[in-house]
Amino acid sequence: MIGFGAATAVEQAGEGRYETVLDAGYGMAEALNGGYLMAVLGRAAVAASPHAHPVSTAVTFHRVAKAGPAQVHVEPRKEGRTAATSRVTLVQDGRPAADALITTATLDAAAEPGWAGAAPAGLPPLDECTEVRPPSGSSGFVDRVEMRFDRSTMGWLDGRPSGRLEMRAWFRLRDGYEPDAYALAIAVDALPPVTLNLGARGWAPTVELTWHMRAVPAPGWLAVHGDGRLLADGWFDEQVEVWDSAGRLVAQSRQLARVPRP
Amino acid sequence: MIGFGAATAVEQAGEGRYETVLDAGYGMAEALNGGYLMAVLGRAAVAASPHAHPVSTAVTFHRVAKAGPAQVHVEPRKEGRTAATSRVTLVQDGRPAADALITTATLDAAAEPGWAGAAPAGLPPLDECTEVRPPSGSSGFVDRVEMRFDRSTMGWLDGRPSGRLEMRAWFRLRDGYEPDAYALAIAVDALPPVTLNLGARGWAPTVELTWHMRAVPAPGWLAVHGDGRLLADGWFDEQVEVWDSAGRLVAQSRQLARVPRP
- pLDDT tens-digit readout, B62-110: 999 999 999 999 999 999 999 999 999 999 999 999 999 999 999 999 9
- Is residue B112, in this structure, part of any structural domain at all? no
Mean pLDDT over the full length of chain B:
94
pTM (two decimals): 0.97
Q: Residues of B numbered 87-106 whose beta carbons fall under 8 angstroms of chain A's beta carbons: which are they?
A: 87, 96, 99-101, 103, 105
Q: List chain A residues with CB under 8 Å of B83.
A: 207
DSSP state of A118: P
Partner-chain contact B55 A256, CB within 8 Å? yes
Instruction: Say if A115 falls within a structural domain.
Output: no
**Of the ranges A24-28, B2-6, B255-259, the best mean pLDDT one:** B255-259
User: For chains A and B, what is the number of CB pairs under 8 angstroms?
Assistant: 177
Q: What is the CATH number of the domain that holds B160?
A: 2.40.160.210
Question: Does residue B230 or residue B201 have the better pLDDT?
Answer: B230
Q: How confident is the model at residue B203 (pLDDT cuts 50, 70, 90)?
A: confident
Asked, for residue B78, whether it belongs to a domain, the answer is: yes
Do A233 and B215 make contact, defined as CB atoms within 8 angstroms? yes
Measure B152 CA to nearest chain A CA, in Å.
18
pLDDT bracket for residue B133 (50, 70, 90): confident
**String of DSSP letters for chain B:** ---HHHHT--EEEETTEEEEEE-GGGEETTEE-HHHHHHHHHHHHHHTSSSSEEEEEEEEE-S---SEEEEEEEEEEEE-SSEEEEEEEEEETTEEEEEEEEEEE---TTPPEEEEPPPPP----GGGSEE---SSS--SHHHHEEEEE-GGG-GGGGT---SSSEEEEEEEETT-PPP-HHHHHHHTT-SPPGGGGGT--S---EEEEEEEE-SPPPSS-EEEEEE-SEEETTEEEEEEEEE-TTS-EEEEEEEEEEPPP-
B138 in any annotated domain: yes
Domain total in chain A: 1
Inspect the interface and report whether the beta carbons of A232 and B116 lie closer than 8 Å: yes
Kindly state whether residue A116 falls inside one of the protein's structural domains. no
The ipTM of this complex is 0.96
Residue A117 lies in a domain: no
Which residues of A are less than 8 Å from B85 in CB distance?
A: 60, 62, 99, 207
**Domain of B187?**
4-107+124-258
Instruction: pLDDT tens for chain A, 262 residues: list them.
Output: 579 999 999 999 999 999 999 999 998 766 899 999 999 999 999 999 999 999 999 999 999 999 999 999 999 999 999 999 999 999 999 999 999 999 999 999 999 999 999 999 989 999 999 998 766 555 688 889 999 999 999 999 889 999 999 999 999 999 999 999 999 999 999 999 999 999 888 888 999 999 999 999 999 999 999 999 999 999 999 999 999 999 999 999 999 999 987 6
Contact A101 B103 (CB under 8 A): no
Query: What is the least distance, in Å, from the CA of B23 to any CA of chain A?
Result: 24
Q: Which of residues 188-247 of A touch B (CB under 8 A)?
A: 198, 207-208, 210, 212, 214-215, 227-237, 241
Residue B30, in any domain of the structure = yes
pLDDT of B30 higher than 70: no
Residue A118 lies in a domain: no
Contact A86, A102 (CB under 8 A): yes
